Amino acid sequence: MNKINEYIEKYIDYLRFERLLSLNTVDSYKRDIVKLVLFLRQNNISDLQEISNDDILNFLEHLYQSQSDRSVSRILSSIRSFYRYLLRSGNILISPFSHIKNPKVPRKDVNILNQAEISGFLENIAFSTYLELRDRTMFELLYSCGMRVSEIINLRLNDINIEESLIRFIGKGSKERITPVGETAKNFLVRYLDSSRSNIEREIKNDYVFLNSRGGSISRQGFWKILKKYAKKQNIGKNLYPHIFRHSFATHMLEEGADLRIVQELLGHSSISTTEIYTNLDKRHIKQSYFKHHPREKS
């Protein structure tokens, strides 16, 4: 088992320093691989290549006792990636998981706010205090740019180009992307930077754009608390979570006629198939668009 632990540590270093994955992603890979290691230990298997088909079936049965199809699929993907690394580095000669296919996972439902709900949520956030203006600006940017919560809490001052109306993000997998920022969000951002941020920052100096009430960077948990506060205050009938603004951004862009590949670029998706989930969200809108634009239906 010591040898296996050594392999895992080297793999983690590879993910961090060569593939430059985020710490959250690396931790996810490690948790998945540890599930296999614990199973091997419980079944007295000390060699990563000495896993029979029966062992794999028992491992899958073990996973299904506590994991969903989606989770099992992710765990298998992590394990196969680990074995591919071991093959490339010459630590093993075969991968017993190479022929194991992931379970079919039903397409995940994506929740969105419609355009009226987004406008209502944003316009009902007051901005008379420094912290209220900070909050309004964050949510305007979240929707304007299709940002992830990790991107907005890690946004730095030098990532913003006000003159060009552009923002640079370091997104998932440490990938860089640059997106335009809309006029409304830009106006709130300028106002926040000019008036609120310096008052929130106090004596603590850093280059994060959005700061907590103590002047430090906002954590994920802190952002969730801010969102929950406004969701409760506005009594919106839908479950609000940070990613719903990103989902809504993508859907509304496509509803208004944006090209799918442009939306892919704006979201920073590696594969267009990831972006395509948004094309199935609003069948009513597609039907309306069909009857409005099809040349044989106009008459």
Catalytic, 62? Answer no
Catalytic, 107? Answer no
Tell me which DSSP letter residue 85 carries: H
Catalytic, 285? Answer no
Catalytic one of 35, 136, 246, 252 = 246
Catalytic, 246? Answer yes
Catalytic one of 11, 83, 143, 278 = 278
Catalytic, 269? Answer yes
Catalytic one of 35, 136, 247, 269 = 269
Catalytic one of 243, 261, 287, 293 = 243
Catalytic one of 136, 172, 197, 252 = 172
Catalytic one of 134, 136, 148, 197 = 148
Where in the sequence numbering do the catalytic residues fall?
148, 172, 243, 246, 269, 278
